[in-house]
């Protein structure tokens, strides 16, 4: 009985705690699935600013592109996730991108002139939502990208937390349903229909085609 009671309590406690996270990922998932919708256009409506900052060239102790990018970001006061560094043909020139939800920084460092040119694009709330949905700092098809900002890691682990919460809510709902004998048959039919429809896409299509 205690298990039943706590299972039920934890089901809605986790739902309430994750409520806004669920809405964010659900709504942004819908937006990402419909690129033809216009009301949520963010890139065309971005606000761009360009500026230059003088910098001290990174010393010899700062080795590698990533360390140099961090040093430039420290001097210019820019924080965020480094997306990638391009291959350098001239050691005096260094281009890289930094992203954080709502802001994109396109950074060009000229070590000969000791100047950094920054093109900053700020996007609207729709852009923030879409980036939050995918802001993990890593990409399946590009192993060079690693998380290099603490807040990216925090957000990535919070996405894990939301996923764990969702899985728990699904499993706890199965338990609660099973405790209701009068609803078992119809519930089983409903789960069967859902599983069949989902299973067709997860494994069935490979069998059929």
Cβ-based neighbours of 73, under 8 Å, separated by 6 or more: 79, 80, 82, 98, 107
How far is residue 171's CA from residue 188's CA, in Å, rounded to a whole number?
14
For another protein, the binding residue among 52, 63, 170, 175 (CB under 8 A) is 170
For another protein, the binding residue among 32, 67, 112, 115 (CB under 8 A) is 32
Q: Does 19 bind another protein (CB under 8 A)?
A: yes
For another protein, the binding residue among 41, 124, 136, 148 (CB under 8 A) is 136
C-beta separation of 53 from 109 below 8 A? no
Q: Is residue 140 classed as helix, strand or coil in its secondary structure?
A: coil
170 vs 103, 122, 166, 174, 185, CA distance in Å?
35, 38, 6, 6, 18
How far is residue 107's CA from residue 72's CA, in Å, rounded to a whole number?
9
Residues facing 110 on adjacent strands? 93, 115
How far is residue 97's CA from residue 127's CA, in Å, rounded to a whole number?
17
Q: Does 199 bind another protein (CB under 8 A)?
A: yes
Q: Does 126 bind another protein (CB under 8 A)?
A: no
Candidates 57-65, 86-94, 109-117, 195-203; binding stretch for another protein (CB under 8 A): 195-203
Q: Does 7 bind another protein (CB under 8 A)?
A: no
Q: Does 115 bind another protein (CB under 8 A)?
A: no
Angle between helices 2-17 and 19-33 (to 10 degrees): 60
Q: Is residue 99 classed as helix, strand or coil in its secondary structure?
A: strand
Which residues ranging from 83 to 112 are in contact with another protein (CB under 8 A)?
100-103
For another protein, the binding residue among 36, 49, 50, 182 (CB under 8 A) is 36
Q: Does 160 bind another protein (CB under 8 A)?
A: yes
Q: Does 30 bind another protein (CB under 8 A)?
A: yes
Q: What is the closest distance, in whole angstroms, from the C-beta atom of residue 83 to another protein in the complex?
A: 14
Binding positions for another protein, rule: CB under 8 A: 9, 12-13, 15-24, 26-27, 29-30, 32-33, 35-36, 100-103, 128, 130, 132, 135-136, 138-140, 143, 151, 154-156, 158-160, 162-164, 166-167, 170, 173-174, 176-177, 183, 186-187, 190-191, 193-195, 197-199, 201-203, 205-206, 209
């Amino acid at each position: 009985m205690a298990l039943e009671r706590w299972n039920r309590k934890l089901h809605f406690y986790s739902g309430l705690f994750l409520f806004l996270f669920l809405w964010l990922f659900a709504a942004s998932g819908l937006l990402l699935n419909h690129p033809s919708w216009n009301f949520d256009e963010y890139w065309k409506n971005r606000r761009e600013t360009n500026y230059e900052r003088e910098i001290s060239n990174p010393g010899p102790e700062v080795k590698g592109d990533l360390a140099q990018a961090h040093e430039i970001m420290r001097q210019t006061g820019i924080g965020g996730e480094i997306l990638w560094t391009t291959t350098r043909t001239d050691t005096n020139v260094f281009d890289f991108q930094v992203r954080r939800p709502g802001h994109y920084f396109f950074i060009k460092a000229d070590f000969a002139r000791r100047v950094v040119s920054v093109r900053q694009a700020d996007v609207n709330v729709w852009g923030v939502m879409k980036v939050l949905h995918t802001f993990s700092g890593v990409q399946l098809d590009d192993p060079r990208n690693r998380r290099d900002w603490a807040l990216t890691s925090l957000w990535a682990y919070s996405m894990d937390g939301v996923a764990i919460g969702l899985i728990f809510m699904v499993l706890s709902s199965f338990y609660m349903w099973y405790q209701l004998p009068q609803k078992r048959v119809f519930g089983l039919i409903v789960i069967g229909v859902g599983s069949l429809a989902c299973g067709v896409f997860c494994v069935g299509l490979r069998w059929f085609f």
